[in-house]
Structure 1
Amino acid sequence: MNNLKQLFRGLHTFILLWATQGLSTLGSSMTSYALIIWAYEQKGSALTTALLSVSSYAPYVLLSIFAGALSDRWDKKRTMLVCDTLAALSTVTVLVLLLSGKLQVRHLYLINAFNGLMNTVQQPASDVAVTLLTPKEQYQRTAGMRAFSNSLVTLLTPVIATTVLSFWGLSAVIIFDLATFTAAFITLAFFIHIPDCVQNRQSRQLSVWKSAREGLAYLRNSRGIFNLILFMAAINLTASMYEAALPALLLSRSGGGESILGLVTACTGIANILGSIIVSFIPAPKSRVRVIFNALLFSMSTENFLLALGRTPIVWCTGAILGWITLPLMNTNMDALFRLRIPVEMQGRVYSMRNTFQFFTIPLGYLMGGFLIDYVMEPFMQSRPERSLLVTLFGTGKGSGAAALYFLLGVAGALTCIFFRKNKHIWDLEKDS
């Protein structure tokens, strides 16, 4: 017990916030997962479901520059409470439309865009709050715990959402989401104190535009951080195309279906949990940069090819486990690098700049993935001769185009890791980390 107390020393408030916010995230993820299935069943189009994610990320990318400046000026706790409440009201809107029989896919685009806007403002505040609640020597442990909770959400979301969806319907999933929001809201409002700092109070004297320019100037002068962000932007392009293609592959393939999609998604959660547990207890590596590149290279070189060439759930699940088990190592070491190198009074602005540059490729990837599957890869594979090499590798029928796309994504992801691994500015981050 003494060893455990020493291990988590100074993290009592963080753990309370982490646990309740993780529960709320589970509810939100279940709603998003159920709505993706609902939308695909309505339209049967990969592009339709991809646009749900695009509408969420568009405001996140376009407005993040200013959101960070506002986050550094505003009280972190109040910002989180207001944004979460408005997002919950949008979820209530979905429930009302559903119960009245008026819910349509176009409504989800508007609601997702609004939720994306709330997340744009809330996330920088939440990231800085974690820094303010965490002793510096515990940065890697808290990053590992956050990765663990995200992994648990990934594991539980398809299992619980599919079960609730099957027995009680979409409305029950949404009600669960609202219940978890209520628990997190009460905890944050009445039991969590997030400290302020002098630098944050001083930043309120600056205009929003000047604050945003300071965040951009910091990245311009920190080539290692900026190049690492560009590397992640390139990876996110590949990863978002992966996400756009997954429902089209597993819901369409022979031997697939909703339960198999849930099973494969659950395997990514299991892999993430294992990786998160490992990284929460191991000491900091000698080279965080090397861990980041090696983890992503292994991920890109395994899962995409197994999804492309596999024909059975066991192969798809193996790919999911291999592809995701090393990602907590990457995420925690990148998180630690950012928190160690970026001054806390600048983190809101810099994180928001990071969000713009690192995540702008995600909506592009979703659009490209959905478009390529519906209008390029699937028609292309349907036109191949029955005994051609491509048909032998990727099969026939709906889903073969998604499989072929996964093969290309595996090649692109591996080459991206190899290219950026040679960047000397990123390796310079080792000198002071």
Structure 2
Amino acid sequence: MQTQASKATFTNYLLFWSGQLVSLLGSSIASFVIIWWITLETGSPAYLAMASLVGFAPMIILTPFAGVFVDRWNRKRLIGVVDFLQALATILIIFLFSWNIVSIWHVFAVLGLRGVFQAFHAPAVAAIVPLMVPQDKLSRMNGVNFLLSGLVNVLGPIIAATLLELWRINQILWIDAATFVVAVIPLLLITIPSVRKREEETQYRQSFKEEFGEGLAFIKRARGFLTLIILATALNFLLTPLSTQIPYFVKFDHLGEASDWALISVSVQGGTIAGGLLMTLTKGFKKKTVAIMLSVYVIFLGYAIIAITPTGQFWFMAIGGLTLAVCLPIANVSIQTITQTVVPREMLGRVNSVMGALASAASPLGMILSGIIVEVIRTANLFLACAISGIVVLTISWFFTDIKYVGENGSNAEETE
């Protein structure tokens, strides 16, 4: 049974999406202040790596299994419950800060809880997009999403850095809790289409193992998909030191302050906005695989620019961040559009989850190693080595694998008829 996106479902999606953007702003503010607190409190790259790991590892472990449940359960109810639980986790850490009994381990525990909730939230939100957005609007909508998400993430660090001069951390974190509540209101007002087949249309209810296996089987069967995931795994591993150690790089290698880190964060999100705007205005690129590869080349060029930044020259670092971030939406929107077009809609939850988990599988190792390596060598040397390695891996994959054929598998509408 196929559910066609319509003008009505698209309107509902825009309402839902507006609430999610508000929630994203709160999360962006909270993430900035918590990571900066860890940076100042510990002064250790290993603790920063651990913070990333405890938040990320639950998503790696649970997301493939969560995707199956996303395809089985009521997605509206699931998103609402997870948003509520994330708000509770934030309120817990607020009280710990308020009572002056917070420790680094309390923060890690809450980050881990939020990682668990995100393992269910992210695939649920991703799976409803092609159900509610007409296919001819998918690429542009994905671009708009990156555009406005980038704008929200520009505002987040600016607001957070400003509020850190005026408020205590526990007061700032109330913004995050409040935005989770705001996100639930549009969710209550809309209807999210279901893709589960009615009982009389199904000979038997598939087991969890069978449904999970279907997601893996599709990835293996669709030409170039598995290669794309393996490449993404390698590249994410190489990019992980940058996302994990950039606060340490700014504070201790370049003697920066919260405002300097905010500048770098804003430049990155500004690049994301520019890339999202490009994808929105162009409706994406016809040769999506070529667009993915070229954009990732530029991403690693920006990585290298950050690595060679002269001490204290944050404008130079910002240029690298801007260069890197402009191409992130091009690569991600192209991958999203290929997936949303090719994967059968009733399998989107589990396929998205399996793809996401496999693509991120090496990131926890990257987090751990980056914390250890930065204790031994300069952060800049690690960044530069990763940038050069990324360019080499990308070149080898283009010339010696079938990645150039990814997406040549028809449409999900055709596959599920």
- Verify same fold: TM over 0.5: yes
Question: What residue identity is the alignment partner of 1:251?
Answer: K
Which structure 2 segments of 5+ residues have no match? 1-6, 411-417
1:156 and 1:203 map into 2 onto residues whose CA distance is 51
1:9 deviates by: 9.5
Work out which of the residue numbers 377, 384, 388 in structure 2 matches 1:411: 388
1:402 to 379, 382, 386: 379
Aligned ranges 1:7-156 → 2 under 5 Å: 11-156=10-155
Distance in 2, matches of 1:203 and 1:186, equals 38
Following superposition, the deviation at residue 138 of structure 1 comes to: 0.9
The farther-off stretch of 352-361 and 414-423 is 414-423
**Equivalent residue of 1:71, what SS?**
helix
CA distance in 2, matches of 1:240, 1:204: 43
Which residue matches 1:279? Answer: 279
Amino acid paired to 1:193: T
Alignment of 1:422 with 2:399, yes or no, is yes
Runs of 4+ in 1 over 6 A off after TM superposition: none
- Is 2:331 the counterpart of 1:330? yes
Query: What is the percentage of aligned positions where both structures have the same residue?
Result: 25
One-letter amino acid of the structure 2 residue matched with residue 262 of structure 1: A
User: What's the counterpart of residue 351 of structure 1?
Assistant: 352
Q: Deviations over 1:232-277 (max 9, x none)?
A: 1111111111112211111113452221111011001111111111
Once residues 66 and 338 of structure 1 are traced to their aligned partners in structure 2, the CA distance between those partners, rounded to angstroms, is: 19
Following superposition, the deviation at residue 429 of structure 1 comes to 2.4
- Aligned equivalent of 2:167: 168
Name the CA distance, whole Å, in 1 between partners of 2:203 and 2:154.
40
Separation in structure 2 between the aligned mates of residue 142 and residue 351 of structure 1, nearest angstrom: 18
What displacement does 1:203 show? 11
Instruction: Provide the aligned C-alpha RMSD in A.
Output: 1.9
Aligned residues: 401
Distance in structure 2 (CA, Å) of the matches to 1:255 and 1:26: 28
Q: 149-158 or 352-361, which moves further after superposition?
A: 149-158
Report the equivalent of 1:241.
241
| Paired amino acid for 2:373 | L
Opposite residue 191 of structure 2, the aligned amino acid is H
- Distance (Å, rounded) in 2 between the aligned partners of 1:203 and 1:14: 32
Q: Does the C-alpha gap of structure 1 residues 34 and 430 become closer, same or farther in structure 2, counting only changes over 3 Å?
A: same
TM-score between the two structures when normalised by the length of structure 2: 0.92
Letter in 1 for 2:216: L
* Aligned mates of 1:24, 1:94 — CA distance in 2: 17
Identify the match of residue 194 of structure 1 among 192, 196, 200. Answer: 192
Confirm or deny: 8 A CA contact 1:159 1:262 kept in the other structure. Answer: yes
Distance across 2 between alignment mates of 1:351 and 1:44: 36
Using the TM superposition, name which of 301-310 and 18-27 deviates more: 301-310
Post-superposition Cα deviations, 1:89-140, rounded to whole Å, max 9, x if no partner, equal 1111001111111111101111111111111112111111112111111110
CA distance in 1, matches of 2:395, 2:133: 34
Could you tell me how far 1:423 is from its partner in structure 2?
4.6
Any gaps of 5 or more consecutive residues in structure 1?
Answer: 1-7, 378-400
